[in-house]
Structures are given as structure tokens and as C-alpha cells.
Structure 1
């Protein structure tokens, strides 16, 4: 009977020692780490076309991994292609006008102008001869051989011939000099304007392709081929693979133990034995009441500070909104000063 009592006492003593060791060990562990609970957060991108139009095709589905620059969707660009052809034709025509002004008049045109001037000069000479003949007759006959009307007609023909010669001379000089510099500048400016119109249409056609800005995962496909879309209507929502963090809330009493750069490990219910490494990043400088995600009644009115644990998740274990347990290793000397970025 005594042996049973002694055995029982020994067992109780061993249990007490084990509990004591566990208790003091747990105390040291609590001093060296801070256990918090939060949710995984990932940045998202909502992609929409810059142009309005009808969606021609969508290339990816929800859950697909996409890479930066990959084409995800296209708009119908038939109307823009027609406008581009029209703009190109107007630009080509205006460029020909510039070339024509730079080249000046053709030799054949100048020769034609000289011939017209020579013809006008010949008519002027003839008119002079006619007026001389009429005046001689009038003088020799005492004004009786020529009527006043014939004299007026001869004088009028002479003035017309003189005016025709001056006109042909001016036309030839203008043709030899070419177009004025101001007119050439205006024509060149018109070419630049038409070139800008063409480039704008080319840009609008290029924007009819929706491309992924970064490596990401398709989270939502919000429209379908045939839908009319605009810049205000998102087509896809992408979840970025980087950066990724866990948002936790630290009580004011524990805030002094947390410093930017402290290492941390993150565990999830899906992978309880596979910790993801991270470190303390953002530490809020503004206190707020306990958020709704913290369900402990006694903490409902306590002030807490938001902390983000930036993680390195190369295997893409963590998912957006996933609950996670964070262990911040407060005993590490790697932590810097409090960061209130």
C-alpha cells in the first residue's frame, strides 16, 4: 500500500514539474514572440478599355495566370480602320501639294506663260500701229476721213493691249518666283495636323487591345464578347502576385514590441505545417477601434493599430482574404525603428 502511495506521489510530482517547466517555457516564448490573427490582402487591378466599342474577343478565363503585356481582350476596330484609311489618303494628298509647291512651276508652264506674254505684246504693237494709222488719216483729211468713234475704238484697243501685257508679265513673274513662303508654311502645318490625326487613330486602334499591366491572376471576368463597353466598365479584375501582406491589429500595450523589419512567420489552416516567411512592414501611426473582423467582445472597444506583415510567397500559398496566424519574432535584433508610413 505504501508503495502505491509513493508511486502516486512521484507521478504527481513529475506532472507538477512538467507543468512548471511548460509554464515558464511558455512565458519565455510569449516574451520572444507575438501571436496575432489577420487576413491575407492583395492588391487588385480593374482593367477597362480606353475606347468605347463592342468587345470582339476575350482570351483568358477566371483563375488564369497572365503575364505583363499579354493581350487579354480585343475590341471591334472596323470603323477605326476605315477612318485610318481616310486620314492616310488626306495626308498623302496634302504631301503632294507640299511637293508641288517646293518644285515650283513646270518648264512647260513657264514656256506657255512666256508665249502668252509674247502674244499680248504682239497685240499691243498692232494696237499701236492701228492708232498711228488712224491718227495719220485724221490729220491728212482734217478729221473728215476718220470718225470720232473709230478713233475711240483704236484708243480703247491700245489700252486693252497694254493691260494684257502687264497681266501676262505679272503672271510670268509669279510663276517663276513660286508660292509665297507664308503659303508654304501653312501647307506644311496642314501636313503636320493630318499626320497627328493619323497617329491619333493609330493610337486608338492600339488601345483596342487590352493588355495585362503586370504578372497577375485573373480574379473576375466581368463582360463577354459582343457586349458594348466603355472606359467606365471594367472587363477583368486581376489579383497581383506581388506585393502580398497579412493585415493584423496590434493592441496598444503590445505596440512597443513591434518594430519595422522584424521577422515573422505566417500559418494558415490550409497549410498548418508550411510556414510562409515575412517581416513587419507598415505600422499605422493612428489608433482606431477594434475592427469587426476581431470578434472578441472584451476587445470591441479597445484601440488597436494596423500592422502589415509583408510576406515572401514564392509558391503562391496565400490567397486573398484567407485567415492567417502571424507569429512576430520580437526577440530579433533585426527590427528597426517604429515605422509609421
Structure 2
């Protein structure tokens, strides 16, 4: 009985000593590498689904899987005949409305004013002649020389001549004054509406061409010529080359010793002996358990924080998913906010130059 108790006590002491030795070994390892933090992770990038902004059948697809594309490069085209006809119709409508507005702004031509005045003067002469006839017939009727019907006819002719003269006079006055301001403003508003319709039609026509919006690599060519494209159906999957980073995880004891803007060195098995310039551009605000793909078994049950170490990749050597080792020299001076904002790879690789600081 006593010997059994002794064995249990000895076993407990051995376990305590083993645990203490393991803890001491771990602390010794952390102290031995306290000036350099080594992280293991994988290269990560963003992917976008590139789609047309119009709906029609695809006429041409100009790139293949694996092609590297630049901003503004034409990727594909739709059948643009329908959109071209709409734009042409809208353009002709604008031209016609512009001519209407110009006519109102220019007012009456001198020849129109002269014509209106000549017509008014001719009708004025006719009015005076019929007035003389009417007055003469009025005297003759009083003398019982002509019948009442003759007097009535001359009176009707005189009234008609007065009306014609007044109408011609108003036409002449309007020709001299020109169009009303309200008519001009109405024509100007109609022109603006037609111009907006033209801009919309031209935008639709331009959207029949699909351009790359940034540097990237075509991963998947989803549609083909003859397929029906629409804004909800992507034509390509494109991997962006900017930004590019290594996703790694920092043990909790080190989280207080790293900060945004710290310089880092990135190496990969694919390019032995070559180090890529990098910097810490993102530190997760929340902790998580160590992922299974992190090669630190002794820390697997500890909490870690995700970091993104942005990289310069001027030759496009770093690829999505590539395993990478990140080395960070601790004790670097803390950069100012402006220095962190200006981090980049320079003009040689402007596409990978600006990290997303969180």
C-alpha cells in the first residue's frame, strides 16, 4: 500500500518536472528568437467576377486563361448594332432640337420682317379702299339710289378688310419682337432632355465593350462568342495583382511587439535565396485559434491574430496560395501615420504599391 503511494507520488513529480521543463524550453525558444519574428503563411490575392453592363450576344472574346491584362485593355465585345442605332437616333433628335433653339434665339430674319410689313401695308390699302366704298354707298343709300343689299355688301367687305389688316399688323409686330422668352426656355429644356437621352444611349453603346479595370490575370473564361451576356452573368474571373499579401498568424505573446508599417522580408521555396520586400499592412482586431495549416504545433492550442504582410511583386513571381516565410525584425522604430500611408513599392511596381491599412 505504501509502495503504491510512493510510486504515485514519484509519477506526479515526474509529470510536474516534465511540464516545467517544457515550459522552460518554450520560453527559452521565445527568448532566443525575441529579436526576430518568423511567420508562416500563404500568398493571397483578390478575385473579381468581370461582367458586361449591357445585355446582348457576345461578338468577340479577346483574352484567354492565363493572360495578364492591364487597366483599360479590351477584353470582350457585345453585338452593338442595336445600341448603335439607338445612339444614332438620339443624336439626330438633338441636332433637330438644336436647330429649333437656334431659330428661336436668332429671331426673325430681316426678310421675314419686310415681308410681314409689306403684307400689312397691302391689307391696309385694301381696308381704306373698302372704307371709301362703304361710305360712298352709305350716302347713296340715304338718297335711295342703291338698294340696301349693296350697302350691306360694302359694309361686310369693309369689316373683313379691317380684320385682315389687324391680323397682318400683329404678325408684323411679332416678327419685329421675335420669339417669347418662354418659348426659348421651353426649347432649351427640350434640348437638355434630348442631350441626356443621347448621353444614356452613348453610355449603353460604350458598355458593349468590356475593359479591364486594373492589373490582373484571367483565371476563367466563363462565356464564349454567341453566349447571351447580362450584368448578372460574369464573363471572366480575374485575379488581381494589386494588392498582394501573405496571410500569416502571429502568436498572442508577440501581438504587442508588431504594428502597422513594420518592414518585413518574404521568402518562398520557389525562389530560394530571393527575398521580397514587404510590410505589415493589416493586424486583425480579433483573436482566433491557430489554423491547422500553420506549422507551429507547440502553439496550436493558443490564440493567434491574423496579419497581412503586403509584398512587392514587380515580376509577378508570387502566386496565389504559394507557401511563404515572413521574417520581421522586432524593435523597429514606429513609423508615423503619414509614413504608413505612403508605404509602397515605388514607380517600378506601382500596381502593388499601396497596402490596405486597417
Query: Which has the higher mean CA deviation after the structures are superposed, 108-117 or 236-245?
Result: 108-117
Q: Tell me the CA shift for residue 294 of structure 1.
A: 4.5
1:1-341 superposed matches below 5 A: 29-141=32-144, 145-291=145-291, 293-294=293-294, 302-330=302-330, 332-334=331-333, 341=358
* Alpha-carbon offset, residue 181 of structure 1: 1.8
Q: Is the radius of gyration larger for structure 1 or structure 2?
A: 1
Q: C-alpha distance in 2, partners of 1:160/1:27?
A: 116
Q: Hey, what's the Cα distance between the residues in 2 that align with 1:81 and 1:273?
A: 56
Contact residue 130 and residue 154 of structure 2 kept, 8 A? yes
Offset from partner CA, 1:237-271 (integer Å, 9 cap, x none): 32222322111122223323434444433333433
Q: CA deviation at 1:214?
A: 2.1
Q: In 1, Cα distance between the equivalents of 2:209 and 2:265?
A: 41
**8 Å CA contact 1:290, 1:303 repeated in 2:** yes
- 8 Å CA contact 2:40, 2:295 repeated in 1: no
The count of aligned residue pairs is: 314
CA distance in 2, matches of 1:317, 1:97: 62
Could you tell me how far apart the structure 1 residues matched to 2:174 and 2:278 are? 82
Gaps of 5+ in 1: 1-24
* Residue 33 of structure 1: how far off its partner (Å): 2.8
Residues 5-34 of structure 1: per-residue CA shift (max 9 Å, x gap): xxxxxxxxxxxxxxxxxxxx9776533333
- Supply the distance in 1 between the matched residues of 2:52 and 2:285 (Cα, whole angstroms): 38
Structure 1 position 199, deviation (Å)? 2.6
> 2:46 is paired with a residue of what secondary structure?
strand
Would you say the 8 A contact 1:259–1:336 is kept in 2? no
- Pairwise CA RMSD: 3.1
More displaced 10-residue stretch of structure 1: 131-140 or 159-168: 131-140
**TM-score, length-normalised on structure 1?**
0.79
* TM-score, L = length of structure 2: 0.76
Report the alpha carbon displacement of residue 301 of structure 1 after superposing the two structures with TM: 5.3
Alpha-carbon distance change, 109 to 30 in structure 1, aligned in 2, over 3 angstroms: closer
